[in-house]
Chains A and B, each alone.
Chain A
Amino acid sequence: MSSPTSDSHGHAGSTKLFAWVWLWLVIITGAEVYLAYKHLPPVTMLLLLIGMSVVKAGLIMSYFMHLRFEKASLVWTLIPATIFCIGMLTMIFPDGVRLRDSHTAPQGQVQPK
């Protein structure tokens, strides 16, 4: 990849760099669609797809949204807090697993707590 360049207004990046990022985004999207053809277990599939989506989100934020060229203080203010809040939202899932097990288990084996 080409090294980033800055103009007099502090905007960084070059056409070649943006084209490379776009190409990688399309390639990863292609890999995701390819995975959809495979009969993988749902959890494996979900982890692979989310992993690739996080990489794509990182590329978009870093280069298209310019975070790679901003001050680190902005990144440290925005990103960890957002990840923490999303992490807190996942606290509903243990209850989801409990409900799923109570639906799928034979009658009388698993009692909802």
Chain B
Amino acid sequence: MSDSHADVLRESPWTGGGSPYSIGSKKLGMWLFIVSDTLTFAALLLTYSYCRLTNPNWPKPFPIFNAIVFTTIMTVVLLGSSLTMVMGVAAAHRGNRASTVKWMLATMLGGAIFCGLHATEWMHLIHDGLTPFSNKYGGSPLFGATFFGITGLHMTHVAIGVIYLGIVATGFGRGKFSAEDVEVSGLYWHFVDLVWMFVFPMIYLMSVKY
């Protein structure tokens, strides 16, 4: 085999060389994680829908005031944190470390506020008698299990995201992490936002108490 042919093979995508998607391995790895996590949340939301379909006495415990207004504020906060994250990624690609850290801190603040509001809502529901194993609202007891399962997994993702962004922001501020690391953490954060765009209508808006 001639040297030139070997070089071509080494650079070929089929032999691990080159980059067929023109992105780094970290970014591709995060995308593959996002696909797998998408299927996890899809399975949970479809399970919720199945339980709801098969239980005619599914509870509707969320009045417009205050539950829906409260969760709408949570949604806007999470959307706002996605905007600050995308600004942070843009600043990282411009090489502006101080601005990047500032935007990422704003994103973390948004995530922390979301978790705080969500915990407040949970406490209110638990106080009213809704737990993963009991449902004082009447109707199917599966509501508590599926509600806390899905929103709890999502809130865990948000909390982990806040910690993840803190680590990346610190590393990027000290020059240890690259702009790609910031972008990869941004992908995770936007995914958490994206999941909520389905959780909010399917669990809250479909269960409004008139």
Contact = CB atoms under 8 A, between A and B. Distances in A.
A68 to B, nearest CB: 12
B190 to A, nearest CB: 5
Nearest to A46: B206
A64 B53 contact: no
B162 interface: no
B66 interface: no
Nearest to A18: B86
B190 A42 contact: no
Interface of B is mostly: helix
Contacts of A81: 35
Chain B: interface residue count, which band?
35 or more
Contacts of A103: 54-56
Name which of B46, B54, B186 has the most chain A CB atoms within 10 A of its CB.
B54
B39 interface: yes
Contacts of B197: 53, 56-57, 60
Interface residues of A, number: 52
Given A49-B202, A82-B38, A92-B50, A11 B22 contact: no
Contact of B187 (A65, A71, A86): A65
B21 A77 contact: yes
Interface in A64-113: 64-66, 70-71, 73-74, 77-78, 81-82, 85-86, 89-90, 92-93, 96-97, 99-100, 103-104
Interface of B: 20-23, 28, 31, 35, 38-39, 42-43, 46, 49-50, 53-56, 64, 68, 72, 75-76, 79-80, 82-83, 85-87, 89-90, 93-94, 179, 183, 186-187, 190-191, 193-194, 197-198, 200-202, 204-206, 208, 210
8 contacts: A25-B79, A29-B79, A45-B205, A65-B186, A65-B191, A77-B21, A82-B38, A90-B46
